[in-house]
């Protein structure tokens, strides 16, 4: 639009290339005389005509010299569309829509096109724009280290920024991992216990095991993955999380609730995906020592071999001496010596093809029970031991085809050998897990879809009890479609069919929706079903040994249905979220003591009545620059069939739990923080002193000081010195019918603990 003005009035010319349209506007305050108007019209028309002739001539000549064409840029990450990306070339800028597409009008020829999006590495590509037609360019973005609100999650099979994912995912960013790795450098339990709806459940009293409960479901139903691979086995034991250092993690992804539609029968309670760091950055070494004799030395080394090939190497050595804080002769804190190593090899051609190769080995000797020279209240000594040797190997890769389809594949094998000792009795067992998966994904017309097939083989060999051995072979097929139906609505449909060689065929559907009403509010709703095959090495069996288990027979697969409604609101520094959820598990696996022979035995059985859980979660987070404030609250009502009739609380599920924390952090100076955690009442079994626990609180303090690339840290944990033995003895007056000398665990055992260490970047 051009404006020409003068005493006669104003004339406006709207011009497209090669054309001109004139509108003549007379000034309102001019005298309306018939003699002056024709002359004014003539003068204004002449001026505009002259301007149009000059401009259309210049524009036509320019267009004749530079013909234009259209370029459609499709921005993707692992076949998923990336909306909100900035696409620019030579001053022409466009943003990708919800389908991940942007359209540029450019002169014919070769151009450099830049793509930028929060959460991904900036990318520049070269494209050729043809004359008279539209070219399509597909660009694969690579993720980078991010803040929490921009995390890219992969556990849902459609790698997207977490706030655009219809399936609810709790994503723990690198900053939180780095904070917690100074508290527990050798395990993941401290990090995971801070997530709302997640409870680290203590188990195996003599050796100090731990499992991960999500939304009240038993720990055996949580699928633990490492870069999408089940490297800890199909069903991790009570010590896998305790043997995994967090130093090499870039983020942790948690899908709470039934996720069998995504990952099959091992994910009835939820999914935990540990995503490793890429081969960038500086080598790191962390050394730690604790007041109860804990020592850790962990190292992480990244590097590049060529521009396409890179590697990382993680290794560690850990030790803990046996400790008896209450002086009863029983090691409340088990002793161990452990070493682990995990190399990873990465390849990425920068054009949508990548490969990850990994292998790992862990060796741990753990000792607990009565201390040397001490005995149980009933008289004899009872030392416990567990020697673990675990080796694994895996690969994962994908390739983006010229048609925009994504081919993916993953495979792994894990073998664990255990030597368990219970007083004078020694048992050996071996678990082998094999996994393979192939997928094909794509995106079209607002839909992002994945088709796939998978095979899982899981076997247990136990010479001490052949009746507990199993070999499960489970092939499956699955599909997922994520559709952008409107600017405010995204829906994901998932379905999986698994055929289990012993328990039959299972269909696991799931539907999820993301609604954006506006005003910073997001609402997610989901519902689905799932299943799980029973495995004999549950926590209660690990505590007394397979020799105390009667032959496994007449069990049924567990099946479940669940729903969840999650809402989040973000306004400036304040972030609020709330969730309500419920689940119902049919034929839940349980154990009981039976007398079918000369000695009592544990028997596994499928309960006739369902296990039902309902609950709610609240979370508030304030990000005020260097100051972070966090508060969370979880309510759980988990009930199951009571063999004596009626219903009862499910075992070891806290009714209420909460946490309040504050941390003041400056990357160049250091950090200082404090947190208070509350654990409410829960029902327990196998305890002669009580049937319900006492609520308790823990107070923790952490501090770190930075000196360039070196950080020195100090932590004071459980400052209130809460110990289970302050309420009741940990040892029974006499062992249980199946020989368990200790009660169930429900509160801290070690009491007040301090640790100090140093972390160096080289």
Instruction: Assess contact for 257 and 562: CB atoms under 8 A.
Output: yes
Residue linked to tokens 């054009």: 351
Instruction: Assess contact for 611 and 621: CB atoms under 8 A.
Output: no
What is the 3-state secondary structure of 97-130?
A: CCCCEEEEEEECEEEEEEEECCCECCEEEEEEEC
User: Among 460, 526, 470, which residue's Cα sits nearest to residue 501?
Assistant: 470
pLDDT of residue 78: 63
Instruction: Assess contact for 444 and 407: CB atoms under 8 A.
Output: no
pLDDT of residue 704: 97
Q: Give, for 180, the enclosing helix (H) or strand (E).
A: helix 174-180
Task: Specify burial of residue 248 (Cβ count, 10 A radius: 0-12, 13-18, 19+).
Answer: buried
Partners of 616 in beta bridges:
580, 635
Dist. CA 212–CA 217, nearest whole Å:
9
DSSP 687-709: -SS-SBPPPEEEEEEEEEEEETT
Partners of 202 in beta bridges:
210
Dist. CA 135–CA 69, nearest whole Å:
8
Radius of gyration of the CA atoms of the chain, in A: 32
The residues near 600 (Cβ < 8 Å, ≥ 6 apart) are 593, 594, 737, 738
Which of the residues in the chain have pLDDT under 50?
1-64, 145-151
Cβ atoms within 10 A of the Cβ of 508, count? 27
Dist. CA 297–CA 314, nearest whole Å:
11
Dist. CA 131–CA 68, nearest whole Å:
6
Q: Dig out the tokens for 170 from the structure.
A: 């709790």
User: Among 600, 595, 579, 530, which residue's Cα sits nearest to residue 558?
Assistant: 530
Q: Which fold has domain 173-271?
A: Ferric Hydroxamate Uptake Protein; Chain A, domain 1 (2.170.130)
Q: Give, for 566, the enclosing helix (H) or strand (E).
A: strand 558-571
Q: CA triplet 748, 751, 753: central angle to 5 degrees?
A: 115
The residues near 517 (Cβ < 8 Å, ≥ 6 apart) are 488, 523
Q: Which fold has domain 68-140?
A: Immunoglobulin-like (2.60.40)
pLDDT of residue 65: 56
CATH number of 272-761: 2.40.170.20
Instruction: Assess contact for 201 and 213: CB atoms under 8 A.
Output: yes
Mapped onto helix, strand or coil, the DSSP state of residue 192 is helix
DSSP 151-166: -EE-TTSS-EEGGG-S
pLDDT of residue 157: 62
User: Among 126, 168, 171, which residue's Cα sits nearest to residue 148?
Assistant: 171
Instruction: Compute, in degrees rounded to 10, the torsion defined by CA atoms 141, 145, 151, 156.
Output: 70
What is the 3-state secondary structure of 503-519?
A: CEEEEEEEEEEEEEEEC
pLDDT of residue 83: 79
Instruction: Assess contact for 171 and 159: CB atoms under 8 A.
Output: no
Distance of CA 433 to the CA centre of its chain: 22
DSSP 729-749: -SB-SS--TT---BPPP-S-S
Do the strands 222-226 and 270-276 form a parallel or antiparallel pair, or are they unpaired?
parallel
Q: Dig out the tokens for 134 from the structure.
A: 């539209």
Dist. CA 718–CA 274, nearest whole Å:
27
**Distances 397 to 56, 351, 408, 440, 451 between C-alpha atoms, Å:** 55, 13, 6, 12, 16
Dist. CA 511–CA 525, nearest whole Å:
8
Question: Which residues of 234-352 form beta strands (DSSP E)?
Answer: 249-256, 270-276, 284-290, 294-304, 309-320, 335-348
User: Among 263, 264, 377, which residue's Cα sits nearest to residue 735?
Assistant: 377
Dist. CA 446–CA 167, nearest whole Å:
17
Cβ atoms within 10 A of the Cβ of 322, count? 21
Instruction: Assess contact for 136 and 113: CB atoms under 8 A.
Output: no
Q: Dig out the tokens for 493 from the structure.
A: 């449909």
| Phi and psi at residue 40, to the nearest 5° | -65, -45
Percent of all residues in the chain with a pLDDT value above 90, rounded to a whole number: 68
End-to-end CA, the chain: 60
Q: Dig out the tokens for 738 from the structure.
A: 């199946």
pLDDT of residue 583: 97
Provide the whole-model pTM: 0.83
The sign of the torsion formed by the CA atoms of 210, 215, 220, 224 equals negative
The sign of the torsion formed by the CA atoms of 214, 215, 220, 225 equals negative
User: Among 713, 717, 718, 709, which residue's Cα sits nearest to residue 671?
Assistant: 713
pLDDT, tens digit, 9 for 90 and up, residues 253-304: 899 999 998 888 889 999 999 999 999 999 999 999 999 999 999 999 999 9
Q: Dig out the tokens for 17 from the structure.
A: 């290339």
Instruction: Assess contact for 112 and 126: CB atoms under 8 A.
Output: yes
């Amino acid at each position: 639009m051009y404006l020409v003005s003068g005493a006669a009035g104003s004339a406006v010319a709207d011009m497209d290339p090669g054309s001109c349209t004139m509108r003549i506007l007379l000034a309102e305050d001019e005298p309306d005389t018939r003699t002056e108007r024709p002359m004014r019209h003539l003068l204004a028309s002449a001026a505009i005509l002259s301007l149009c002739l000059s401009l259309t001539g210049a524009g036509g000549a320019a267009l004749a010299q530079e013909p234009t064409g259209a370029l459609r840029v499709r921005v993707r990450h692992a076949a998923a569309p990336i909306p909100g990306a900035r696409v620019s070339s030579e001053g022409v800028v466009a943003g990708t829509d919800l389908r991940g597409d942007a359209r540029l009008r450019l002169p014919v020829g070769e151009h450099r096109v830049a793509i930028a999006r929060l959460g991904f590495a900036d990318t520049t590509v070269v494209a050729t724009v043809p004359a008279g037609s539209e070219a399509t360019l597909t660009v694969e973005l690579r993720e980078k280290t991010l803040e929490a609100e921009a995390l890219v999650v992969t556990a849902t099979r459609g790698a997207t920024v977490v706030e655009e994912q219809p399936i609810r995912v709790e994503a723990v960013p690198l900053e939180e991992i780095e904070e917690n790795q100074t508290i527990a450098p050798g395990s993941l339990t401290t990090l995971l216990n801070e997530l709302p709806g997640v409870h680290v459940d203590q188990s195996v009293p003599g050796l100090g095991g731990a499992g991960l409960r999500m939304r009240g479901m038993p720990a055996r139903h949580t699928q633990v993955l490492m870069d999408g691979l089940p490297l800890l086995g199909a069903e991790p034991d009570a010590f896998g999380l305790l043997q995994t250092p967090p130093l090499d993690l870039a983020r942790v992804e948690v899908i709470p609730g039934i996720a069998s539609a995504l990952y099959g029968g091992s994910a009835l309670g939820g999914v935990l995906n540990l995503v490793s760091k890429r081969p960038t950055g500086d080598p790191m070494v962390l050394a730690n020592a604790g007041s109860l004799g804990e020592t850790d030395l962990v190292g992480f080394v990244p590097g590049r071999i060529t521009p396409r090939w890179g590697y990382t190497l993680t290794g560690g050595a850990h030790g803990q001496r046996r400790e008896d804080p209450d002086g009863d002769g029983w090691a409340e804190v088990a002793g161990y010596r452990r070493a682990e190593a995990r190399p990873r090899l990465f390849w990425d051609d920068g054009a949508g093809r990548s490969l990850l190769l990994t292998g790992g080995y862990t060796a741990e000797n753990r000792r607990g029970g009565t201390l040397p020279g001490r005995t149980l209240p009933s008289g004899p000594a009872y030392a416990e031991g567990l020697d673990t040797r675990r080796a694994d190997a895996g690969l994962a890769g994908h390739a983006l085809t010229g048609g925009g389809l994504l081919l993916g594949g993953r495979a792994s094998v894990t073998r664990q050998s255990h030597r368990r000792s219970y007083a004078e009795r020694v048992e050996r067992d071996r678990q082998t897990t094999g996994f393979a998966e192939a997928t094909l994904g794509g995106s079209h017309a607002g839909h992002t879809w994945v088709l796939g097939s998978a095979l899982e083989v899981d076997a247990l060999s136990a010479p001490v009890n052949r009746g507990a051995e199993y070999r499960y072979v489970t092939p499956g097929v699955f599909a997922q479609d994520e559709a952008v139906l409107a600017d405010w609505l995204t829906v994901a449909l998932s379905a999986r069919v698994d055929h289990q060689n012993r328990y039959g065929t299972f269909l696991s559907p799931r539907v999820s929706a993301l609604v954006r009403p506006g005003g910073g509010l997001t609402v997610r709703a989901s519902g689905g079903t799932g299943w799980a095959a029973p495995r004999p090495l549950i926590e209660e069996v690990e505590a007394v040994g397979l020799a105390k288990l009667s032959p496994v027979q007449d069990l049924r697969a567990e099946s479940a249905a669940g729903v969840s409604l999650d809402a989040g609101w973000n306004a400036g520094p304040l972030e609020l979220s709330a969730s309500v959820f419920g689940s119902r598990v049919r034929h839940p696996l349980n154990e009981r003591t039976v007398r079918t022979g000369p000695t009592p035995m544990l028997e596994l059985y499928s309960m006739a009545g369902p296990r039902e859980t309902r609950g709610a979660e609240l979370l508030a987070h304030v990000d005020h620059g260097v100051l972070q404030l966090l508060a969370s609250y979880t309510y759980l009502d988990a009930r199951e069939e009571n063999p004596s009739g009626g219903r009862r609380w499910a075992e070891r599920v806290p009714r209420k739990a909460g946490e309040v924390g504050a941390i003041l952090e400056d990357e160049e100076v250091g950090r200082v923080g404090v947190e208070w955690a509350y654990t409410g009442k829960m029902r327990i079994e196998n305890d002669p002193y009580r049937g319900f626990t006492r609520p308790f609180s823990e107070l923790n303090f952490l501090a770190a000081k930075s000196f360039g690339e070196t950080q020195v840290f100090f932590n004071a944990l459980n400052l209130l010195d809460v110990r289970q033995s302050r309420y009741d003895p940990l040892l029974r007056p006499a062992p249980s019918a199946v020989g368990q000398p200790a009660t169930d665990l429900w509160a801290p055992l070690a009491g007040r603990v301090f640790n100090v260490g140093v972390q160096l970047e080289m």
